[in-house]
């Protein structure tokens, strides 16, 4: 294909038109990027705002350090707590890991949506018909993600400082958000060249992010050697140590990695065909086979994500199983936990039990993410006008929704059992005090809590699809309440908003199963709302 010519008759360079395209993309994407910037800014700023109220004296701060140190699951999510005696140190512990993760997600979606997704929709072909260099679309998409990451860092730092954060500590912490966005903008740019379509590209980039997060968390929770922290780019961000040294060299390494990844993406783009990925798509079967039935059709629609999640739950279960037996080493190494033990606040056995319950709640939250993702796929099919042709046949609305609902409810249950079984096997093989059967039984008891969140998403998509984000909001709220609620000493009625709070300890001497009954009733009510709403509303 010959290069496009400029209005003056000259040939367009590789990056010709990048700036003008970037301005247009920034205008189109500002509404979708703003919530990410607001979310991460609130995550950081709220820490310095509430810290003096919740932890007003040295005793409460020492108790916080002991509680955090006694639970490796918190290290898995938030990273090491280097200094919880100041608001900036608390902010660094609470916001660095999650803020970087969300910034990376923002960058991934921005790059894929504005590069590969435009090829899938045909819009990129219209854009390429103008005076535009071959690398302009990718350059503009990466530039948009970079602008969003820088804007995130600036806004987060300003708001955090205004609410009481230290200038240097807040700037350093916010710089880690920006660096995380830049690194995974590069990852997404490479994935956009490898994947056969936008969905595959997003999956590749998100899997890379999830692997980096899990590896970093496993090391921080005490499961791996210190040097392994450098295998994950997200681990580099923890080595920046905001409010505990403020080391900026890892940020330079992040910039270098971003530049290398973008260069690789540019090289790959110049060697692939328009609309095709470096990894080719395998041709489908000549006949419909299982897709000839409605159930087979729905299963084929979801089989890719289901297979990926099955592998993910095996890996996560193995990692969690290793962590479940690490409390003994933690007590020996962490003096703050020793204070807790010495004060009679806990025993090693109760700490192990509490850790297993926390890990299973995290596993249940991941199971809910799987179910909600299945539900959202139904809405995606509807918006793409692929549901209406199906309903144009003899397929009733209730039958179509029922098939998707069954997949959305059964898949999390199977995944939960799979992950729980692996967790139980690994933990029991390393520590004889952990009963494998007890862990599996607790995994089964956690499934109804995940179903509530899936049913909430089904109710939103079925009755009011404009409110479908309620499904994801339920997952995020449950995660925050389950992990951070007890640390912030929230009232029981607030903690009870999370369905995982109602999961009983089924291995107790006299377990109270009332919570499971309530979870089942709420799930049933939400499913009724979903089916009634889907039957009566218009289909796009």
SS3 of residue 5 by DSSP: strand
Model pLDDT for residues 72-85, shown as the tens digit of each residue: 778 888 888 888 99
Q: How far apart are CA 324 and CA 356, in angstroms?
A: 6
Tell me how far apart the alpha carbons of residues 99 and 79 are, in angstroms, rounded to a whole number.
Answer: 12
Say how far residue 54 (Cα) sits from the centre of its chain: 28
Give the pLDDT confidence score for residue 300 in this predicted structure. Answer: 87
Q: What's the distance, CA 480 to chain centroid?
A: 13
- Write out residues in the chain with pLDDT < 50, as ranges: 1-3
Contact partners, residue 356, CB within 8 Å, separation at least 6? 324, 423, 427, 434, 439, 442
Token pair listed for 63: 């108790």
* Interval 119-151: pLDDT, tens: 877 777 777 777 777 788 899 999 999 999 999
pLDDT for the residue 366: 93
Residues paired with 11 in a beta bridge: 5
Q: What is the pLDDT of residue 200?
A: 86
Q: What is the structure's pLDDT at 323?
A: 79
Q: What is the pLDDT of residue 320?
A: 86
What distance in Å separates the CA atoms of residue 446 and residue 413, rounded to the nearest whole number? Answer: 9
Local structure of 288: helix, strand or coil: coil
- Tell me, what's the pLDDT at 501? 94
Residue 29 in 3-state DSSP?
A: helix
Rounded-to-integer distance, Cα 95 and Cα 449, Å: 26
Angle at 340 between CA 336 and CA 343, to 5 degrees: 130
Residue in the block written with tokens 């056969």: 196
Q: Report the Cα 501 to chain-centroid distance in Å.
A: 21
Check if the beta carbon of residue 363 is closer than 8 Å to that of residue 320.
yes
Backbone angles phi, psi at 64, to 5 degrees: -60, -45
Longest CA pairwise span in the chain (Å) = 84
What percentage of the chain reaches a pLDDT higher than 90? 52
Of 82, 100, 80, 243, the residue nearest 169 (C-alpha): 243
Q: Which two tokens stand for residue 400?
A: 């179509």
pLDDT at 2: 45
* Residue carrying the six token digits 């971003």: 258
Two structure tokens written together for 368 = 């809910």
What does the pLDDT look like over 7-46, one tens digit per residue?
A: 555 555 777 888 888 999 999 999 899 999 999 999 999 9
**Cβ neighbours, 10 Å, residue 64:** 22
CB 261 within 8 A of CB 186: yes
């Amino acid at each position: 294909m010959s290069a496009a010519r400029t209005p003056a008759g000259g040939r367009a360079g590789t990056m010709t038109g990048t700036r003008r395209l970037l301005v247009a993309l920034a205008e189109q994407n500002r509404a979708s990027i703003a919530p990410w910037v607001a979310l991460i800014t609130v995550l950081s700023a709220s820490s310095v705002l509430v810290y003096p109220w919740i932890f007003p004296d040295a005793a409460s701060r020492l108790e916080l350090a002991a509680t955090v140190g006694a639970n490796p699951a918190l290290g898995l999510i938030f990273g090491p707590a280097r200094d919880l005696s100041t608001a900036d140190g608390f902010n660094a512990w609470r916001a660095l890991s999650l803020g970087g993760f969300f910034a990376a997600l923002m960058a991934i979606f921005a790059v894929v949506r504005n590069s590969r997704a435009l090829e899938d929709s045909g819009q990129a072909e219209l854009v390429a018909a103008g005076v535009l260099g071959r690398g302009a679309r990718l350059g503009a998409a990466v530039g948009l993600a970079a602008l969003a990451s820088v804007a995130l860092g600036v806004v987060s730092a300003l708001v955090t400082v205004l609410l009481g954060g230290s200038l240097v500590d807040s700037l350093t912490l916010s710089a880690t958000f920006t660096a995380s966005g830049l690194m995974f903008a590069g990852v997404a740019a490479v994935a956009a060249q490898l994947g056969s379509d936008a969905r595959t590209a997003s999956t590749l980039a998100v899997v890379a992010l999830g692997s980096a997060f899990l590896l970093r968390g496993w090391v921080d929770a005490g499961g791996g050697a210190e040097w392994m922290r450098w295998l994950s780019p997200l681990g580099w961000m923890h080595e920046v140590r905001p409010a505990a040294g403020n080391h900026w060299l890892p940020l330079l390494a992040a910039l270098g990695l971003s530049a290398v990844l973008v260069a690789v993406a540019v090289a790959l783009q110049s060697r692939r065909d328009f609309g095709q990925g470096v990894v080719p798509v395998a041709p489908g079967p000549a006949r419909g086979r299982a897709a000839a039935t409605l159930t087979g059709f729905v299963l084929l629609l979801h089989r890719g994500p289901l297979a990926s999640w099955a592998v993910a739950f095996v890996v996560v279960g193995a990692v969690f199983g290793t962590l479940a037996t690490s409390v003994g080493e933690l007590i020996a190494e962490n003096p703050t936990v020793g204070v807790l033990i010495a004060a009679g606040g806990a025993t090693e056995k109760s700490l192990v039990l509490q850790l297993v319950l926390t890990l299973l709640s995290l596993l249940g939250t991941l199971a809910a993410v799987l179910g909600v993702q299945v539900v959202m796929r139904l809405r995606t099919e509807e918006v793409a006008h692929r549901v209406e042709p199906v309903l144009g046949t003899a397929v009733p609305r209730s039958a179509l929704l029922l098939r998707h609902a069954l997949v959305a409810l059964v898949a999390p249950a199977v995944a939960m059992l799979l992950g729980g079984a692996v967790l139980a096997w690994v933990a029991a093989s390393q520590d004889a005090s952990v009963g494998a059967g007890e862990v599996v039984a607790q995994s089964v008891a956690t499934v109804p809590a995940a179903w509530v969140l899936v049913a909430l998403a089904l109710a939103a998509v079925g009755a009011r699809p404009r409110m479908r984000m309620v499904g994801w909001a339920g997952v995020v709220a449950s995660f925050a309440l389950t992990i951070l609620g007890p640390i912030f000493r929230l009232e029981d009625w607030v903690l009870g908003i999370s369905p995982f709070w109602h999961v009983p300890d089924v291995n107790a001497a006299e377990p109270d199963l009332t919570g499971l009954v309530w979870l089942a009733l709420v799930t049933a009510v939400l499913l009724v709302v979903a089916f009634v709403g889907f039957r009566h509303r218009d289909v796009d």
